[in-house]
Structure 1
Amino acid sequence: MKVAQKVAIVTGGGGGIGGALAERLAAQGARVVVADLDGAAASAVAEAINAERPGAAVSAGGDVSDETVIAGLIAQAEKEFGPVDLYFANAGVTGGMGLDISEDVWDTTIDVNVRAHIRAARLLVPGWTERGEGYFISTASAAGLLSQVGSAAYSVTKHAAVAFAEWLSITYGDQGVRVSCLCPMGVNTKLLYEGENSGDPVGKAATGAVLAAGNVLEPAECAEIVLAAVDAEEFLILPHKNVLDMYRQKGADYDRWLRGMRRYQASLLAGTR
């Protein structure tokens, strides 16, 4: 899909990958609703866009896992720009480490990383199938194809995000609904370093695993790759190409892969002592 003159909503747009996506979309001629739990951060991104391209962006603050908030974003986009063409379900949380995280943390992680996607699709897909066109872009993670050392909540919900994107493409792809799923490894965002900065050895190991697995990209680099994939209407977006090799190795011999991951985890944890 060509994004010029299209209307897009970007969640988690107050910085990181989301902020870079919003800026790149506007640079390519799209009109953008920048949404983030941090309304001030979303506003700052929109203001920076409008300084270069007046009227190209508006912002909104709110919990984008809340269906009422999502409905409000869609209404805001329609009022300011017209029907929504692209929805970037980009907001995400890490969810903490291990089995000891609370039920509340599990609920928040599932809500933000998975249910937010489901709720947005529920509101948008009927209109898209009626129009015969629409694009849903899910930000998952390489952890959704492989796994994440340390964080069960992150790994589980990112697997679920990939699965939902697959289901959406299978179910509605022949009715004009395009779907892409972004699965990066290390991108230079605050989220990447949350484990390292937590003071928890397991959290430090989790960040270390990502840093050791490949180059850390800047958000702008990642956004460029994403929009090139959207232009080509590719489902699986892998900014780090070695993820595909890892994924193939996993599928080729699951038990060997699990043994290797246990050894790798042990070496990472040894390095944090």
Structure 2
Amino acid sequence: MQIAGRTAIVTGGGAGIGAAIARALVDAGARVVVTDVDAVAVERVADALSARVPGSAVALAGDASSVDHIDAAVALAQDRFGPVAFYFANAGIAGAPGLAATDDEWATALDVNLLAHIRAARRLVPEWVERGEGYFVSTASAAGLLTQLGSATYSVTKHAVVGFAEWLNVTYADQGVRVSCLCPMGVDTKLLRPGDIDDDPQAQLMQRAVESAGEVLTPERVAADVLDAVEDERFLILPHPEVLDMYRQKGSDYDRWLRGMRRVQQGLAAATGTA
């Protein structure tokens, strides 16, 4: 789908992958509403984009999982730039460990990592069906195809994101709505490296699991892969191509894969003192 001249919304755009996607969109000729819960960070990103290409971006601070915020982002985009053609549901949180995660932590992870996508699609997809085109891009994770050692909430919600994106594609692609799902492994962002995990063995386990699985990519590299996939209208976006081999191994012998993951977890747990 052509990007130049179109309007996009990017959530979680105050830093990391979201900010990189917003820059790539502007460079490709799109106009962008950038949203983030961090008002200072998202204003900084939008100002830099407008300095790069005057009038190309505007910021909106708020919670990406809020229906009111989604409505406000769509209204702002339509008012400033025109109908929304692209929605990048990129905002996410790292989550919490296993059975120790509280109901509140589960609820927050489900809200931000999954329901934000569902609520945005509910708002935009009917309009796109009427127009005969639109594009929804969900940021999931390789954890959504495999799993995430150290965080049950992250693993479960990212699996759900992949499932929802698949459902959207199957249900609406023949009506002009395109859907892609981004599933990277390690990306050099605060989500992977928050800098405050010295006293949190489970967070250390999660970080080591990601960093040891493959190359840690820059957000800019991931954003370039995202735009290539959008232009090709390709569903699965794998900045780490080795994830596909891992996914195939998982599907070909699930029990063997689970045994292998337990061995990896045991090794990482010994290294982080959680064994």
Deviation of the 1:50 alpha carbon: 0.6
Match of 2:24 in 1: 24
- Corresponding position of 1:211: 211
Match of 1:259 in 2: 259
Contact 1:135-1:179 at 8 Å conserved across structures: yes
Map of 1:192 onto structure 2:
192
Q: Aligned AA for 1:78?
A: Q
- Per-residue CA deviation, residues 16-35 of structure 1 (Å, 9 max, x unaligned), is 00000001100010000000
1:246 match: 246
| 1:30-84 C-alpha deviation (Å, 9 max, x unpaired) | 0000000011111100000111100000000000100111001000000000000
Between stretches 99-108 and 176-185, larger displacement belongs to: 99-108
C-alpha separation between the residues in 2 aligned to 1:202 and 1:16? 23
Q: Does 1:103 align with 2:112?
A: no
Q: 2: distance between equivalents of 1:238 and 1:46? A: 27
Q: Which residue of 1 aligns with 2:232?
A: 232
**Pairing 1:71–2:71 present:** yes
Unpaired runs of at least 5, structure 1: none
User: 2:117 and 2:41 mapped to 1: Cα distance?
Assistant: 21
Q: Is the 8 A contact 1:196 1:208 kept in 2?
A: no
Q: Which moved more, 1:18-27 or 1:197-206?
A: 197-206
Cα displacement (A) at 1:199: 2.0
Determine the structure 2 residue equivalent to 1:54.
54
Are 1:196 and 1:204, in contact at CA under 8 Å, matched by a contact in 2? Answer: no
User: Which whole-Å deviations, capped at 9, do the CAs of 1:126-159 have from their partners, x for residues lacking one?
Assistant: 0000000000000000000000001000000000
The sequence identity of aligned pairs, in percent, is 61
**C-alpha deviation, 1:194, in angstroms:** 3.7
For residues 169 and 13 of structure 1, what CA distance do their matches in structure 2 show?
24
Matches of 1:22 and 1:219, distance apart in 2: 11
Aligned to 2:158: 158
Cα distance in 2 for residues equivalent to 1:197 and 1:224: 30
2:179 aligns to what? Answer: 179
Alignment partner, residue 87 of structure 2: 87
The SS at the match of 1:193 is coil
Mapped to 2, the partners of 1:112 and 1:127 lie a distance apart of 23
Q: Distance in 1 between matches of 2:256 and 2:200?
A: 28
Q: Letter of the aligned partner of 2:103 in structure 1?
A: E
Q: For 1:113-128, list aligned pairs within 5 A.
A: 113-128=113-128
Q: Which residue of 2 aligns with 1:13?
A: 13
Aligned position for 1:45: 45
Equivalents in 1 of 2:151, 2:254: separation in Å?
Answer: 20
- Structure 2 unaligned spans of 5+: none
1:96-141 per-residue CA deviation (whole Å, 9 max, x = no partner) reads 1121121111101000000000000000000000000000000000
RMSD of the alignment, in Å? 1.0
How many residues are matched? 273
